[in-house]
Each structure stands twice: as C-alpha cells, then as structure tokens.
Chains A and B, each alone.
Chain A
Amino acid sequence: MSLQDAVARFVRDGDVVVIEGFTHLISFAAGHEIIRQRRRDLTLCRLTPDLIYDQMIAAGCASRLVFSWAGNPGVGSLHAFRRAVEGRALAIEEYSHFGMVARFSAGAARLPFWTLRDYEGTDLPRVNPRIKSVTCPYTGETLATVPALNPDVTIVHAQRADARGNTQIWGLLGVQKEAAFASGRVIVVVEELVDESVIRADPNRTLIPAAIVDAVVLEPWGAHPSYAQGYYDRDNDFYVAWEAISKDPAALTRYLDTFVYGVRDRAEYMGKHAGLAERLKAKDQRCAGVNYGY
C-alpha cells in the first residue's frame, strides 16, 4: 500500500496517534504525509516528541500532546512546541519516560492501568491528575499508577517486513512493540519488503506480527533525519540546523512548504537532498547469525 493510501484510510481527524521510535526509526515520512493530508485535532503521543511532532504541531495537526521529554536531543528546544505551550495553544499531558512506557505496557496487555514505583517527591502528579496511586493488596505498599494508553493508530518504521506485515527490527527497540500491541490500528513503514522466508529464517528478530498490522508501506529513507540501524546514520547536522529553523516561524513555514507540502512522497523528498544518501549510508557490520536447528 502507498503511504498516501495508508494515511487516508487509517488516520482520521481527532484520532489518538502514535509515531514511536526512540531516536531510532522515527517515521518522518508518515508524519509528513499526515501534514500533507491536513489531519486536524489529533492527540499526538510519544515519549520524545522530537522534530517530527514539532513539525506536526507547527502545521496545525495537533490539539493535544502526551509526552515525557520534549527537546531536541543534544541540541536544544523544540521551538514550535515551546511557542504552542508558552502561548497556551496546545493542551499537554505529561509523564516521565517510565510512566509513558508503563502506559503503553498496560495498553498492550489490555489492562486499565499499570503500577510502578515512581513519582514520590516529584511535582508531576500535582500537575497531571491522571498519575494516581494504589495500595498493594499483598504488601500494603503504596504504588504509583498510570492509565493504559490505547491509541487509535500507531505508526512504526522498521528495517524490514514481509508483505503481510511480519516486521523485524534491530538496534534500539524503544517502545514500538508495546505501542503497536496497544493500538487499534497499526501501520508499518519499512526500508525493505522481504519474502516471508527471510522472516522465518530469523524469527527472534520479529517485533511486530502480521496479526496486528493493518498496512505495510515500503518507503526507503522514510525515517530521515532519524536513522535506521544498518541502513543509514542519524542526520545530526539536520537536528542541529532545526534549532534555527524552528526558532523562526517564517523559516519553519518555508521548511514545510519546501520539504513537506512541496513534495509528493519520500522519493521526491530525497530528490531535494543531493548527496544525502552518500553522506549517511551505513557501513557494513554484519552479525554471524545463529543456529536455529534442532
């Protein structure tokens, strides 16, 4: 399926949307397509909103953000996010990383909440009434709780999948498995479509099974400026450049006009980045594999 069709079919106005990936495998291609299709009133959830949600907030897609760390890692701020929050134009619901992970874990297990030892002595429960506590029926201990997060749609970028959606990921795994299992609909965007036999040759590497996948999209370089281990490196230069772009609303608008609204798909996006593929292409460092025989 094309990304245009997948977003048109499975992402709706007002949805709770998750594009996960902790630094690694963030589907910028899907975020850009959502911007192009002008989805509105979305509740965007992610541990680290990153540049992609900064762009979606700037483009007017989001009315609410659920998150745990909203910065540009190693660089600075997400300025569209900051302008929206400081100007009170965006509702926020804030946790810590463990809290967000626990929310996805509860959602994936179809439990109403998750318990964790956390938040004692912090001000987070004071500003987020959804962080509560429960008394353990066995020990009497007070434990923090967070509610399950069950998104309408989760989008995961991955190295490879077969046509039915059996999806393999290696490198940093983030919370993609939990987010996908918690979600009502799942779109998988991959660097490579492979035959089912490739998946079957290495089943331990499958993170997301076809049973929970609604759409499989082939979109090479779809994670740029994020990265795909074994395919291409993170574009740290672009992350640094985003500081100045996002600080200036006019520059941000020009960026979206050129690289999001101004292209139809990833192939055209890559066409506007001469030399990028050569600069970021991953070097080979293969593992030997294991013996699955019995």
Chain B
Amino acid sequence: MMAVVAARELADGEVVFVGIGLPNLACNLARRTHAPNLVMIYESGAVGATPSRLPVSIGDPALVTGSLMVCGMADVFQLFLQNGRIEVGFLGGAQVDRHGNINTTVIGPYERPKVRLPGSGGAAEIAIHAQRILIVSKLSPRAFPERVDFVTSPGQRVQRVITDKGVLEPDGAGGELVLTGLYPGVAVADVKAGVGWTLRSRPSLARLDPPTRVELQLLREVLDPKRLYLKS
C-alpha cells in the first residue's frame, strides 16, 4: 500500500531523485503505470534510467544500461540538484519528527551513539534542494518521536509523509505534521498510536483507494518477485 500511495504522488514527466528501498519500488511502479515519462535520476549518476530489473542498490548496473545519460557524482550534485533541476526527492529515515525533520545518523547522542545509522548520504542536500520532498516510513512511536535525536535532513520542503496506515502533511506556517488521509480499514486512533506526539488531524480526511489489481500484479510479479522490498 505504501509503495502504491507513493507511486501515485508522482506526476508523468516529473524529474525525481530516487532513493533506495521502497521509493525505488514506487518510482518504478509509477513509470510502468500512469507516469511513463517519469525521469528517474539516481545519485549514482544514472539519468533517465529504465532498469529492466528492480535495482538492489542505487548503483546497480541495470540503471546504466539503456539510460539517457550517465554522469559523475559531482555533476549529479552540482548540475542537477544544486541547480534546482530536481522536482521530487524521496526520503526515508529511522526517525521522522513533528516538523518532518529526518534522522538517518544516530540514535542517542552523537558522541556516544546507542545505534550508529548509515548517515546522510545525499539526504541532507536532497532535503534542501529538491522542490518537494516525499517521506516514506512505517509508523511507530520510536520512528515518529516529537523530536529527532539528530537532524540529518531538515523538514522545510516536506510535502507528504506516506506511512503504512495513512498520510501526514505539514499544516500552516509552523509546518507541524497532521493526519490528512487514511488507508481503507484504518481508524484515526491507529495512526495516533504510531506517533510520539499528540497528532492532530484535518476535519475531513481523504480516503485513499486500495491498490488496484494491476498495481498489485506489477509489484508482486514483475517489480519485486523476490520480495526485496515488499514484506507483506
């Protein structure tokens, strides 16, 4: 469901900076359904990639074969990202807070980490330069604390947070995340239980349609038959 909701966020012809994991699946699903002209740019340097297999990593050789352009990473960050050419950036993270800030660096204090996570990669500059940011992350009070332990990616450009139960969006000038849409069969209380602050919700919530047969078939049989990203 998360992959499908994320895919539907992408418009045909948009330029999207693709990250590893579920976003990768979502972008490839969008390209094979409603957005055949989606331009997928990977930070590894593949531009206009059309991978014939679901890439395990963002540096997969299948991203190169048949792509429109392959450039060095200095070009990716300077000529595409900092230049303002990226319309959508996809991010995930171990922690997402009330204002859409993301932590992929450490749990606990930086100098004495409880858990050392991978770090920024391109996430800091994607959050700063992509015109809109979509976050994909499963709900739990640990994953959605009131404040993240470390701000790897600032939340100013976050447009939507796609979770496994519903969708959050920043509200008003303060940019606090509020509940705006629910998946079929999910109650507001289910979402609130997965968030570490008192989550507010919009008076009228969008009901998000379940995956279509075509979307499910593409995900399960074509894009991710080995269940690399699809867990259920």
Contact = CB atoms under 8 A, between A and B. Distances in A.
B64 A234 contact: no
Given A101-B73, A116-B82, A117-B82, A124 B59 contact: no
Contact of A74 (B20, B70, B101, B123): B20
Nearest to A226: B59
Contacts, number: 161
Interface stretch (A2-10, A167-175, A183-191, A264-272): A167-175
A96 B59 contact: no
A22 to B, nearest CB: 5
Interface of A: 22-24, 47-48, 67-71, 73-74, 77, 81-82, 85-86, 88, 94-99, 101-102, 104-105, 116-124, 127, 170-175, 177-178, 227, 229, 233-234, 236, 239, 282, 285
A77 B116 CA distance: 9
B211 interface: no
Contacts of B65: 285
Contact of B124 (A122, A127, A229, A282): A122
B59 A73 contact: yes
A171 B61 contact: yes
B157 to A, nearest CB: 10
B57 A173 contact: no
A45 B81 CA distance: 23
Given A67-B119, A98-B81, 6 more contacts: A24-B61, A47-B73, A121-B154, A172-B46, A173-B70, A236-B57
B223 to A, nearest CB: 14
B59 A123 contact: no
18 contacts: A23-B60, A67-B119, A68-B121, A77-B118, A86-B113, A86-B115, A88-B112, A96-B123, A97-B73, A97-B122, A98-B77, A102-B74, A121-B101, A121-B128, A178-B74, A227-B61, A234-B57, A234-B61
Contacts of B152: 122-124
- Nearest 6 Cβ contacts at the A-B interface: A23-B59, A121-B154, A71-B118, A69-B121, A73-B57, A96-B120
A85 B118 CA distance: 11
B185 interface: no
A96 B74 contact: no
Interface SS, B side: loop
Contacts of B71: 173
Contacts of B72: 173-175, 177-178
Interface residues of B, number: 51
A85 B73 CA distance: 27
B31 interface: no
B77 A97 contact: yes
B153 interface: yes
Contacts of A122: 120, 124, 151-154
B110 A127 contact: yes
Interface string B1-36: 000000000000000000011000000000000000
B122 to A, nearest CB: 4
A143 B56 CA distance: 35
A85 B112 CA distance: 9
Nearest to A71: B118
B201 interface: no
A75 to B, nearest CB: 8
Contacts of B121: 47-48, 68-69, 96-97
